[in-house]
Amino acid sequence: MTEDVRAAARRMYAAFNAHDHAATAEIFTADFYSHPLDTTGPESVTRSWQRFHETFPDARVVVEDMVVEGDTAAVRTSVHGIPGRQPPTMLEIFRVRDGRIAELWGLSSLRRDS
């Protein structure tokens, strides 16, 4: 199980960095739920990634630390390619089911302007 969880995380960050938005259909479960965004389904991730890449086309996520226990991973990342800023950090915790990400919680130091 541990390697399935690590593999799911690696696929997610690689797809994000490659701007491979279509890969969300294979990375996230059909009933995926994002707690920070209060959204469901891989399509919601696709839309979120597209908006992020439109705003920050050079953004890429670097995994700094990953801890896996059972079906859950906690990942600390830095986000590079955000102009004029120190690389923001993120902490994401996600649960994997059948090799796909089913649920995600997250915190970020990237400020969202209202």
Q: Is residue 113 part of a domain?
A: no
Domain that holds residue 23: 2-108
Q: How many CB atoms lie within 10 A of CB 102?
A: 17
The pair of structure tokens assigned to 98 is 């059948």
DSSP class of 20: -
- Amino acid (1-letter code) at residue 52: F
pLDDT value at 113 more than 90: no
pLDDT value at 104 more than 90: yes
pLDDT of residue 31: 98
Segment 26-35 mean pLDDT: 98
In angstroms, the CA 72 to CA 5 distance is 7
Q: Is residue 47 part of a domain?
A: yes
How would residue 1 be classed by pLDDT, with cut points 50, 70 and 90?
Answer: confident
Domain with residue 83: its CATH number is 3.10.450.50
Domain count, the chain: 1
Q: Is residue 95 part of a domain?
A: yes
Q: What is the dihedral of CA 49, 25, 32, 15, to 10 degrees?
A: -40
- pTM beyond 0.85, yes or no: yes
